[in-house]
A and B are shown apart, each in its own frame.
Chain A
Amino acid sequence: MDGLSPRPGEDAPALAAGPGRVVGRPVTRIEDLPLVRGEGLFAADVNFPRQLHMRVVRAEIAHGRIVSVDAEAARAMPGVVAVWTAADVADIPLIPFRATKVRGLEPYCQPVLARDRVRYVGEPVAVVFADDAYRAEDAAETVMVELEELPVVLDAAAPPGEFAPGHDTEPTVVRKEYGDIDAAFRSAHAVVELELSVGRHSGVPLETRGAIARYDAAHDVLELHGTAKKQHWNRDEIARLLGRPPQGVHLFEGHVGGGFGVRGELYPEDLLVCAAALRLRRPVKWIEDRREHLVATNHSRQQSHRIRAAVDAEGRLLGIDDAFFHDQGAYVRTHGARVADLAAGMLPGPYRLPAYRVAGHFRLTNKTPAATYRAPGRYETTFVRERLMDAIAARLGIDPVEIRRRNLVAAAEMPHARPLDALGTDVVLDSGDYEGLLDKALARFGWDAMQQELAARRAAGECVGAGLAFFVEKSGLGPSDGVRVTVDATGAVEVVSGAASVGQGVETALAQICAEALGVDYSRIRVVRGRTDRIEFGNGAHASRVTVMSGSATWQAALAVREMALECAAQLLQLSPAELTIREGVVTRADGLAGPSLTLAEIARGRGPNSPAMRGQTPGLTAERWFWSDHMAYPYGVHLAQIRIDAGTGGVTVERYLVANDIGRAINPMLVEGQIVGGLAQGLGGALLEEFRYDPSGQPLSTTLADYLIPTIAEMPEVDVLIAEDAPSPLNPLGVKGAGEGGTNGAGACIASAVDDALRRPGAITSLPVLPAHLRALLTEAP
């Protein structure tokens, strides 16, 4: 804690509107240098002397009873130190999930090694530890797993099967409801009903997972390297599951080659390397290979919805009633039922909706377990909701833009509370001018002129169309985050946060905020993240929360240090703090007149522990501040696309794309744009290319990057980004909302809408991804 009396963080002044000295500017990143020089530290780059390599033996059928696992041959292979099966790790409990309101999921959690059944192809059954990665793989190949096949469940909408005796494959149904839904349908002018589905795809970062554990006996500390996203929660759970005190476990984050929701969750392999490092007393390294990644790391997205809307004669929504089936895969992982819960809570999006009822059937299947992926539950439900809006427009003969205008929540209605919850907090749309942004986006895209151009091209025989999708995101999930800002005796500034970095530019954003508050050069600030040994608590990097939560805490802590520095300087310079300011790390007169000055280094030295002036006070030029939030901030935006279909092949070319996104305030517009364009690439992947497919026996068919199709540059359209700051969030001193997920959110919905338009067949697209063979078939059927 700092030497001044602690103040509640909420008292800190808000950041003034408009670009600041460094906040709001497109400055270059402080993280880039090692990355462009090949000096990064990704998981596979971490090595320790005497390390062993772990190789996982994985299930080769989708559902079966384990008869036997014979590892004798493997144990005798050169370089092999140990081979473990379930019996060797029977003392490690099932991997838990982070608490939500949903109950009854505990029996469905995954063991670190399969116990008596395997439930998906890729499930860890045994592990080999050897002195070399090649030899570990040689030995793993010789482990014989005898299985007795059991019936597979691959369709989440089919009747539930048996997970284990006494437990069927539907652990829970997520239900939410408000308003008089039955009355809404009774009084409806029209009822529009659709069946829609989104394909199974996921984050698939370019770096696979990795985990390197080392037991430091000298300090009695278990270290885990290669971690990401949620270090503090993971540390606490690893400690608990392995029977150690949390202070005796340290997690370290190096560079992370993309997170996207899937990286940094607690997986079986993380616990296995930790247990092995403790028992074998050698460092243990595991690097996932790409084929493993595609069957072992969280999948996402797969849902099918049966949705109906009641509307009045003008197309205004009276009620929405949705039942969906969420394909969770084989186990409940660390997110519990979070994606299904978010889908249910966020489905209404930007529209005024008097009555709503949803039943989300959370179903287990014999596929890789699923969890969050960038815009979880929103990519899916934006597709569903916007398909519904297009269908209502078509049914009533209203323009698709107009139907949205009539239903958007108005700026005057903000904040707009819905009697709904998502992620355990009430949904209160905090701020926004939805229609204003829609107008800006249409104008920027040249929507009306484009329609004429498309009509001319259609007349000339081309199959072209345009579509749009409106979305509401959520960000800044609480409850808290703390940041400690310290100026040392050399004047160097350090920001220690409990956030994590998955490559999105966290360090730069926090440094900009700190620099703005403190009056120092952002590029010389050291930002520490993802380390449990440097800060006691942290909530990590997910759910677009870092800039909102850790950013606000950084702002407050840096302001506190500033105040402390000014008070010190004021005493020494015999001026009042109000007459002083800090520029480039030097305290000078605020009025710019010449006079004595003090550097932050001098002030920090004056506040050192041996300084007589500090007697009786906590020394240091440092402050820790906490930011709390009970509600999320809701960014919003609109996607617009112009596409062309090759009628001969069914191939879709996205010609032009605009993402307009209001994020309250852009700390660094260049980074925000990067988030949006990159997020869009992933969204387009899910719309047109990416899918985890399975054969009827549950064998995965997308097990290489030649089969799981990530967009290359050739598939990316010309992208325009409109960053709006019209609706700063009232919930934090910076006014920020998260920017990580808006680029992804609306892409599936928008492409579906544009493809419909090109086909001239409203409602043609009911599932994602849109496949060329399917379009070719639709084009043949066309009159």
Chain B
Amino acid sequence: MSTRRIALTVNGTRHEAEAPVRQHLGDFLRGTLGLTGTHLGCEHGVCGACTVLLDGRAIRACLVLAVQAEDRAVTTVEGLAPSPEALHPLQAAFCANHGLQCGFCTPGMLTTLEEFLRDCPDPTEEEVRVAISGNLCRCTGYDSIVAATMEAARAMREAAA
């Protein structure tokens, strides 16, 4: 029993596929489903680049087996934008505030913050800093990411109002 057929929902689309039982969710999303926006920076749970939402909660895709996602809903960075033309407010704010340089950590930052802003729509800067403390960025020094998040939170609150 080295592989299993699994069914799961990714970014709102139902998928059925064969998964080796030892394969982690990150490799499954990237390899089997071709969703290469989820990046693997360490594969031992430290860097946060592979963060995706599993049933709405931010988790490290390198620390979950693909078979564990059976019947669950996964959201990846590819599922954040509402359409090919429009951006999620976090994505727009990252662009506007230079919240990314090389862009490798960005998908994990965005998915982490997507969950965070749902829980905490009106955060302080300090709360944002705690929220992304499990995501390593080697380029920005983080300041611009905090600024982007505060701007996105404002935009999302205004849109919801």
Direct contact of A and B (CB under 8 A): yes
Taking Cβ atoms with an 8 Å cutoff, the residues of A that contact B are 28-29, 31-33, 35-40, 42, 44-45, 133-134, 203-208, 255-258, 260, 289-290, 502-505, 670-671, 673-674, 677-682, 704-706, 710, 712-714, 716, 719, 743
Q: Judging by beta carbons under 8 Å apart, are B102 and A29 in contact?
A: no
- In the complex, B25 has a CB within 8 A of chain A: no
Q: Judging by beta carbons under 8 Å apart, are A677 and B136 in contact?
A: no
Pick the residue among A44, A677, A679 that contacts B143 (CB under 8 A).
A677
What residues of B have a CB within 8 angstroms of the CB of A680 in the complex?
141
Q: Judging by beta carbons under 8 Å apart, are B94 and A36 in contact?
A: yes
- In the complex, B22 has a CB within 8 A of chain A: yes
Q: A36-B87, A36-B95 are in contact. Are A206 and B136 (CB under 8 A)?
A: yes
Pick the residue among A33, A42, A206, A705 that contacts B44 (CB under 8 A).
A705
Nearest chain B CB to A194 CB, angstrom units: 30
What residues of A have a CB within 8 angstroms of the CB of B142 in the complex?
681, 713, 716
What residues of B have a CB within 8 angstroms of the CB of A681 in the complex?
137-138, 140-142
Q: Judging by beta carbons under 8 Å apart, are B37 and A40 in contact?
A: yes
What residues of A have a CB within 8 angstroms of the CB of B140 in the complex?
674, 677-678, 681
Q: CB-nearest residue of chain B relative to A291?
A: B44
- Report Cα–Cα, A133/B32, bound state, in Å: 13
Q: Judging by beta carbons under 8 Å apart, are B98 and A36 in contact?
A: no
- Report Cα–Cα, A203/B81, bound state, in Å: 32
Beyond contacts A37-B37, A38-B35, A205-B138: 19 other A-B pairs, Cβ-Cβ < 8 A, are: A31-B103, A33-B95, A35-B103, A38-B38, A39-B37, A40-B36, A206-B49, A206-B138, A207-B39, A207-B102, A260-B138, A671-B98, A677-B143, A678-B141, A705-B47, A705-B136, A713-B145, A714-B130, A719-B141
Q: Judging by beta carbons under 8 Å apart, are A206 and B47 in contact?
A: yes
Nearest chain B CB to A129 CB, angstrom units: 18
Pick the residue among B40, B91, B135 that contacts A44 (CB under 8 A).
B40
Q: CB-nearest residue of chain A relative to B76?
A: A38
Nearest chain B CB to A292 CB, angstrom units: 11
Q: Judging by beta carbons under 8 Å apart, are A37 and B46 in contact?
A: no
- Report Cα–Cα, A670/B46, bound state, in Å: 29
Q: Show 6 residue pairs from A and B whose CB-CB distance is below 8 angstroms, ordered by the A residue.
A: A206-B39, A290-B43, A677-B143, A678-B141, A712-B135, A743-B141
Q: Judging by beta carbons under 8 Å apart, are A38 and B22 in contact?
A: no
- In the complex, B123 has a CB within 8 A of chain A: no
Q: Judging by beta carbons under 8 Å apart, are A36 and B36 in contact?
A: no
What residues of B have a CB within 8 angstroms of the CB of A671 in the complex?
98
What residues of A have a CB within 8 angstroms of the CB of B35 in the complex?
38
- Report Cα–Cα, A255/B103, bound state, in Å: 8
Contacting A at CB under 8 A, from B129-156, are 129-130, 132-146
- In the complex, B121 has a CB within 8 A of chain A: no
Bitwise interface map of B from 40 to 66 toward A, beta carbon under 8 Å scored 1, else 0: 111110110100000000000000000
Q: Judging by beta carbons under 8 Å apart, are B104 and A206 in contact?
A: yes
Pick the residue among A38, A203, A682, A704 that contacts B107 (CB under 8 A).
A38
Q: Judging by beta carbons under 8 Å apart, are B40 and A503 in contact?
A: no
- Report Cα–Cα, A246/B133, bound state, in Å: 46
- Report Cα–Cα, A588/B31, bound state, in Å: 52
* Most chain A C-beta atoms within 10 Å of own C-beta, residue among B80, B91, B103: B103
Q: CB-nearest residue of chain B relative to A31?
A: B103
- Report Cα–Cα, A289/B80, bound state, in Å: 28
Q: CB-nearest residue of chain A relative to B11?
A: A38
Q: Judging by beta carbons under 8 Å apart, are A258 and B37 in contact?
A: no
What residues of A have a CB within 8 angstroms of the CB of B145 in the complex?
713
Q: Judging by beta carbons under 8 Å apart, are A258 and B139 in contact?
A: yes
- Report Cα–Cα, A504/B101, bound state, in Å: 6
What residues of A have a CB within 8 angstroms of the CB of B81 in the complex?
37
What residues of A have a CB within 8 angstroms of the CB of B67 in the complex?
none
Q: A44-B40, A719-B141 are in contact. Are A28 and B129 (CB under 8 A)?
A: no
- Report Cα–Cα, A101/B129, bound state, in Å: 48
What residues of A have a CB within 8 angstroms of the CB of B39 in the complex?
42, 44, 206-207, 257
What residues of B have a CB within 8 angstroms of the CB of A679 in the complex?
141
What residues of A have a CB within 8 angstroms of the CB of B96 in the complex?
28
- Report Cα–Cα, A133/B30, bound state, in Å: 13
Q: Judging by beta carbons under 8 Å apart, are B22 and A134 in contact?
A: yes
Q: CB-nearest residue of chain A relative to B37?
A: A38
- Report Cα–Cα, A622/B137, bound state, in Å: 39
Pick the residue among B80, B106, B136, B141 that contacts A35 (CB under 8 A).
B106
Nearest chain A CB to B38 CB, angstrom units: 7
Q: A29-B95, A681-B141 are in contact. Are A36 and B102 (CB under 8 A)?
A: no
Nearest chain A CB to B108 CB, angstrom units: 9
What residues of A have a CB within 8 angstroms of the CB of B36 in the complex?
38, 40, 42, 44-45
- Report Cα–Cα, A255/B100, bound state, in Å: 13
- Report Cα–Cα, A33/B100, bound state, in Å: 11
What residues of A have a CB within 8 angstroms of the CB of B143 in the complex?
677, 716, 719
* Most chain A C-beta atoms within 10 Å of own C-beta, residue among B27, B98, B102, B133: B102
Q: Judging by beta carbons under 8 Å apart, are A502 and B102 in contact?
A: yes
Q: Judging by beta carbons under 8 Å apart, are B104 and A42 in contact?
A: yes
Nearest chain B CB to A14 CB, angstrom units: 27
What residues of B have a CB within 8 angstroms of the CB of A134 in the complex?
20, 22-23
Q: Judging by beta carbons under 8 Å apart, are A208 and B107 in contact?
A: no
Pick the residue among A28, A289, A678 that contacts B43 (CB under 8 A).
A289
Q: A36-B91, A260-B138, A678-B141 are in contact. Are A705 and B37 (CB under 8 A)?
A: no
Nearest chain A CB to B80 CB, angstrom units: 8
* Most chain B C-beta atoms within 10 Å of own C-beta, residue among A35, A134, A204, A255: A35
Q: Judging by beta carbons under 8 Å apart, are B37 and A704 in contact?
A: no
Q: Judging by beta carbons under 8 Å apart, are A28 and B98 in contact?
A: yes
Q: CB-nearest residue of chain B relative to A294?
A: B42
- Report Cα–Cα, A32/B139, bound state, in Å: 14
Q: A36-B106, A44-B30, A260-B138 are in contact. Are A678 and B40 (CB under 8 A)?
A: no
Q: CB-nearest residue of chain A relative to B91?
A: A36
What residues of B have a CB within 8 angstroms of the CB of A712 in the complex?
133-136
What residues of B have a CB within 8 angstroms of the CB of A502 in the complex?
102
Q: Judging by beta carbons under 8 Å apart, are A258 and B102 in contact?
A: yes
Q: Judging by beta carbons under 8 Å apart, are A704 and B138 in contact?
A: no
Pick the residue among A33, A133, A678 that contacts B101 (CB under 8 A).
A678
Nearest chain A CB to B13 CB, angstrom units: 15
Pick the residue among A40, A206, A674, A719 that contacts B98 (CB under 8 A).
A674
Pick the residue among A31, A40, A706 that contacts B46 (CB under 8 A).
A706
Nearest chain B CB to A645 CB, angstrom units: 22
Q: Judging by beta carbons under 8 Å apart, are B95 and A28 in contact?
A: yes
- In the complex, B115 has a CB within 8 A of chain A: no
Nearest chain A CB to B106 CB, angstrom units: 6
Bitwise interface map of B from 1 to 43 toward A, beta carbon under 8 Å scored 1, else 0: 0000000000000000000101100010010000111111111
Q: CB-nearest residue of chain B relative to A45?
A: B36
- In the complex, B78 has a CB within 8 A of chain A: yes
Nearest chain B CB to A586 CB, angstrom units: 27
* Most chain B C-beta atoms within 10 Å of own C-beta, residue among A207, A502, A713: A713
Nearest chain B CB to A137 CB, angstrom units: 11
Nearest chain B CB to A291 CB, angstrom units: 8
- Report Cα–Cα, A204/B46, bound state, in Å: 14
Q: Judging by beta carbons under 8 Å apart, are B141 and A206 in contact?
A: no
- In the complex, B105 has a CB within 8 A of chain A: yes
Q: Judging by beta carbons under 8 Å apart, are A206 and B41 in contact?
A: yes
Pick the 10 closest A-B CB pairs, nearest first. Answer: A38-B37, A503-B102, A35-B103, A257-B104, A677-B141, A38-B77, A705-B46, A45-B36, A681-B141, A36-B91
- In the complex, B110 has a CB within 8 A of chain A: yes
Q: CB-nearest residue of chain A relative to B136?
A: A710
What residues of A have a CB within 8 angstroms of the CB of B87 in the complex?
36-37
Q: Judging by beta carbons under 8 Å apart, are A290 and B106 in contact?
A: no
Q: CB-nearest residue of chain A relative to B79?
A: A38
Q: Judging by beta carbons under 8 Å apart, are A208 and B41 in contact?
A: yes
- Report Cα–Cα, A256/B139, bound state, in Å: 12
Nearest chain B CB to A610 CB, angstrom units: 36
Pick the residue among A28, A503, A705, A713 that contacts B103 (CB under 8 A).
A503
- Report Cα–Cα, A37/B82, bound state, in Å: 11
Bitwise interface map of B from 89 to 128 toward A, beta carbon under 8 Å scored 1, else 0: 0010011101011111111001000000000000000000
Nearest chain B CB to A45 CB, angstrom units: 4
Q: Judging by beta carbons under 8 Å apart, are A205 and B104 in contact?
A: yes
Q: Judging by beta carbons under 8 Å apart, are A290 and B136 in contact?
A: no
